[in-house]
Structure 1
Amino acid sequence: MAQRTSRRGVSPAATPLSSISEYTAHPVDVAPVDPLDIRILRLLCDDARMSQRELARRLGMSAPAIGERLARLERLGVITGYGVRVDWSRLGYPTIVYLTITALPGYEQGKIMRGLAMLPEVEEVMLVTGGIDLLVRLRVRDHVHLRDVLLNHVWQIEGIQRTETSMTIAEMAPKNSAADLLSLMLPTSPMVTGESTMFVDGRD
């Protein structure tokens, strides 16, 4: 889609990465979890509304024991919340847009990120390597809505030198990537059945 270049000035004291510390990932200790914790997480990734009683039934445990496990995972910061998946197409927002942004040389990119994050249509803002500075994912109703977002909001953010916009025309159904990754974390264990040995990797 259309590209845009800005000639706005830059503060001489600014450095490009001086204001992104709040957005960068900081080293954290890996939480001490076991295969049972992973199985609980995997079930919740499939259905975040699953009750403790149902989790207990599926895993052969008591509901209080499941409750203790969940409380511990929350204290460890492994579980940070319980959410809902929305079909935005049914609410009139079917279009996903990817926006690449190049910042003005020397401009504080954290300021641009904060400005973008304030827009309700913006789902993700990422600082990336390569020939661009930022990758942004937006959700809009249609091209008219996108034009309004670009003209009246994105392009009004100070520090943006250039943008390129790509509208999706087709996409696969979202995969449950969290459940897939959790399955990889389950240990492979031998299970002896009669004269043969099978290997179980924890996938349901």
Structure 2
Amino acid sequence: MPPRHTVKPNASAAPLSSLADAATPRSPTVPLDEVDRQILVLLSQDSRRSQRALARELGMSAPAVGERIGRLERLGVIRGYGVRLDWSAAGFPMTVYLIITAVQGYQQSAIVEKIANIPELEELNIVTGAIDILARFRVRDHAHLRQLIMEHIWKIEGVHRTETSLSILDIEAENLVAGLLSTPAAGPE
């Protein structure tokens, strides 16, 4: 399996300088009108909904809806369609947060690259403050967690310190897309 992310560390560079290579690129803001917002909200509720069904709900023609969706895909607003899993049912009931601090001055991109290629990784964030990296993993049980930490994380050169937090309750936003896009964003005052 090829690596999920590749970063080329530069030993003489500042510790954070090559992290931009691993970052998800920021897209320019795309102006969304009310119809675009409605399409996104409806697709967030059921991404398998047909263009014909969307057109009926929006009072538009199916080709017009198809053109809108195509435009939103081309502009990168819609990055893909996927499946939402019940992780417990899939055998990975534990959410684990690892707080990772790098050795001061160490090229963090090398650490990020190694963590990004761990299969159990769900999300990886470079953060400000007293810590450097916040990683969220999915594991089967405590033995799996122990293996993840001891055989992967602690063996990464440049990791100075880790702190582990177990999620005792996962509460997902009901529908983040609908919550944020149901009403137009307020402009600058």
Q: TM-score range by the shorter chain?
A: 0.7 to 0.9
| TM-score normalized with structure 1 length | 0.81
Number of matched pairs: 177
* Structure 2: 5+ residue stretches without partners: 1-9
Q: What amino acid is aligned across from residue 101 of structure 2 in structure 1? A: T
What secondary structure, in the 3-state scheme, does the structure 2 residue paired with 1:53 have?
A: helix
Partners in 1 of 2:100 and 2:183 — Cα distance? Answer: 34
Task: From the superposition, tell whether residues 122 and 28 of structure 1 become closer, same or farther in structure 2 (CA, over 3 Å).
Answer: closer
What secondary structure, in the 3-state scheme, does the structure 1 residue paired with 2:39 have?
A: helix
What secondary structure, in the 3-state scheme, does the structure 2 residue paired with 1:91 have?
A: coil
In the TM superposition, residue 172 of structure 1 has moved relative to its aligned partner by 2.1
Task: From the superposition, tell whether residues 38 and 93 of structure 1 become closer, same or farther in structure 2 (CA, over 3 Å).
Answer: same
Q: What amino acid is aligned across from residue 112 of structure 1 in structure 2? A: I
What secondary structure, in the 3-state scheme, does the structure 2 residue paired with 1:129 have?
A: coil
| 1:47 matched residue in structure 2 | 46
Choose 1 or 2 for highest CA Rg: 1
What secondary structure, in the 3-state scheme, does the structure 2 residue paired with 1:97 have?
A: strand
* Structure 1: 5+ residue stretches without partners: 1-10, 188-204
Deviations 1:85-112 (A, max 9, x none): 0111101100000000000011111111
**Which structure dedicates a bigger proportion of its chain to strand?**
1
Residue pair 2:126, 2:134 contacting (<8 A) in 1 also: yes
| 1:3 matched residue in structure 2 | none
| TM-score normalized with structure 2 length | 0.87
| 1:30 matched residue in structure 2 | 29
Residue pair 1:104, 1:159 contacting (<8 A) in 2 also: yes
Residue pair 1:19, 1:111 contacting (<8 A) in 2 also: no
| 1:83 matched residue in structure 2 | 82
In the TM superposition, residue 183 of structure 1 has moved relative to its aligned partner by 1.3
In the TM superposition, residue 25 of structure 1 has moved relative to its aligned partner by 6.0
Aligned-residue CA RMSD (Å):
1.8
In the TM superposition, residue 186 of structure 1 has moved relative to its aligned partner by 6.8
| 2:112 matched residue in structure 1 | 113
In the TM superposition, residue 29 of structure 1 has moved relative to its aligned partner by 2.8
Partners in 1 of 2:25 and 2:151 — Cα distance? Answer: 34
Residue pair 1:104, 1:160 contacting (<8 A) in 2 also: yes
In the TM superposition, residue 74 of structure 1 has moved relative to its aligned partner by 1.1
| 1:150 matched residue in structure 2 | 149
Task: From the superposition, tell whether residues 73 and 87 of structure 1 become closer, same or farther in structure 2 (CA, over 3 Å).
Answer: same
